[in-house]
Amino acid sequence: MSVPFLNLSAQYESIKEEVNGAIQQVIEKNAFAGGPFVEKFEKKFAEFCRTKHAIGVSSGTSALWLIMLAMDIGAGDEVITTPNTFIATAEAISFTGATPVFVDIDEQSHNIDPALLEAAITPRTKAIVPVHLFGQPADMDAILAIAKEYQLFVIEDACQAHGAMYKGKRAGSMGDAAAFSFYPGKNLGAYGEAGGVVTNNDEIAQKVRILRDHGQSKKYYHDYVGWNARMDGIQGAVLNVKLKYIDQWNDMRRKNAQSYDVLLADVPGIIAPKEMAYARHIYHLYVIRMANRDEIIAKLREKNIFCGIHYPIPLHLQKAYQRLGYKNGDFPAAEKCAAEYISLPMFPELSDAQIETVVAEIKQLVSGSV
Ligand SMILES: Cc1ncc(COP(=O)(O)O)c(C=O)c1O
């Protein structure tokens, strides 16, 4: 049996008529850039995240960048984040002119370790960007307490965490602002590039709204040097349809994760993901750890089982960030995890039979010790 890493067609089949109808409406109404479909999504997504504002933008990367611009973060500033994330988190910091400063992760949650945060704070530090990696929120209470003490902004990178919870609160609702990605493969994915900013702060919301649209407060009156980072109408319309199903899809992912947990429990040499006591994980990715992961992934591929690695090289060791002067050994937990991660197939429509096949093949490889 072939098991894809991700199957977006299965989801499309279940909402085909609704989505096709929604896209057609955008075309008929010529509502291509921003417009009523995006505005409707913004209202609904703010309700979903339990925040005062949601602003549709062009990607998760621009969401992060615009938030930081709205906070006047720029050259000479430092922003603390985790090296265990997609590069966009750090790119957004760099594109403001500020410097990313990395802090190692907690190996259980895979997220930034609050116990290591204070040592990285300097007089230049302006913000902390916790990333809710794989769909599990970072330990926000500890992070928010430190941020309050040092008067730092907290920007949640919730790009992988649509609908995740921390102690009953929605991912994205706890910091000063949060960024979401609606990249097609995300739990809430558009049919193209899209992103969102959520915040309870009126000033940040207003500034992000203006900055995403060339800094104009009204047409051709430009208060700031901004950018074109609007969400397009088709993405707004698709997301309006899909938002109705996100809780159901997240529940399906959680059920799939539970099945993996049970079946993998007695397999030696595997570290399965742990749902922290404070979290409701929404399993954007189901990531296990194994010492000989490259061989395992290659052998599974031969059996038509497709896995991923998120991410093979922590950001402090990426060529793009060589100039920051970090070296191997600086963040041992992130480095160890990056060398061992395997993302197993995970999407809502994954069947029990597919999960059983993946685990059976892994078990066979482990017993034959690859
Ligand atoms: C943790 C994280 N941050 C930021 C991004 C950037 O989002 P986008 O691809 O929509 O620009 C992504 C998505 O790829 C992500 O996973």
Phi–psi pair at 286, nearest 5 degrees: -105, 105
Cβ of 131 below 6 Å from ligand 1: yes
> How many beta carbons lie within 10 A of that of residue 217, not counting itself?
12
Cβ of 85 below 6 Å from ligand 1: yes
CA 201 to chain centroid, in Å, comes to 21
Q: Which is the closest atom of ligand 1 to the Cα of 85?
A: 1
Task: Report pLDDT digits (tens) over 81-110.
Answer: 999 999 999 999 999 999 999 999 999 999
pTM: 0.98
pLDDT at 1: 86
Q: Which residue(s) pair with 177 in the sheet?
A: 155
Cβ of 111 below 6 Å from ligand 1: no
Q: Which is the closest atom of ligand 1 to the Cα of 182?
A: 10
What is the mean pLDDT of the segment spanning 1-12?
Answer: 96
Taking alpha carbons only, the member of 355, 13, 279, 56 closest to residue 179 is 56
Cβ of 96 below 6 Å from ligand 1: no
Task: Report pLDDT digits (tens) over 113-156.
Answer: 999 999 999 999 999 999 999 999 999 999 999 999 999 999 99
Asked if residues 118 and 88 have their Cβ atoms less than 8 Å apart, the reply is no
- d(CA 46, CA 256) in angstroms, rounded, equals 28
pLDDT at 112: 98
What is the mean pLDDT of the segment spanning 215-222?
Answer: 95
Q: Which residue(s) pair with 288 in the sheet?
A: 342
In sequence order, what are the residues at sequence separation of 6 or more whose Cβ sits closer than 8 angstroms to the Cβ of residue 186? 159, 160, 162, 284
Task: Report pLDDT digits (tens) over 176-212.
Answer: 999 999 999 999 999 999 999 999 999 999 999 999 9
Cβ of 157 below 6 Å from ligand 1: yes
Asked if residues 228 and 86 have their Cβ atoms less than 8 Å apart, the reply is no
Q: Which is the closest atom of ligand 1 to the Cα of 193?
A: 10
Distance 187 CA to ligand 1 centre (A): 12
Q: Which helix (H) or strand (E) holds 166?
A: strand 165-166
pLDDT at 331: 98
Q: Is 215 exposed, middle or buried (0-12, 13-18, 19+ CB in 10 A)?
A: middle
Distance 84 CA to ligand 1 centre (A): 13
The answer, yes or no, to whether residue 254 has pLDDT greater than 90, is yes
Tell me: cis bond preceding 311? Omega within 30 of 0 counts: yes
Best mutation site among 6, 61, 310 for ligand 1 pocket (most ligand atoms within 8 Å of CB)? 61
The answer, yes or no, to whether residue 369 has pLDDT greater than 90, is no
Percent of the chain with pLDDT over 70: 99
In sequence order, what are the residues at sequence separation of 6 or more whose Cβ sits closer than 8 angstroms to the Cβ of residue 327? none
Q: Please, which pLDDT band fits residue 236 given cuts at 50, 70 and 90?
A: very high
pLDDT at 169: 98
Cβ of 195 below 6 Å from ligand 1: yes
Distance 50 CA to ligand 1 centre (A): 21
Distance 183 CA to ligand 1 centre (A): 7
H helices, E strands: number in the chain: 11, 14
Question: Order of strands, edge to edge, in the sheet holding 125-129?
Answer: 53-57, 195-199, 177-181, 153-157, 125-129, 78-81, 99-102
The answer, yes or no, to whether residue 14 has pLDDT greater than 90, is yes
What is the mean pLDDT of the segment spanning 337-349?
Answer: 98
213 DSSP 8-state letter: B
pLDDT at 370: 58
pLDDT at 99: 98
Task: Report pLDDT digits (tens) over 277-330.
Answer: 999 999 999 999 999 999 999 999 999 999 999 999 999 999 999 999 999 999
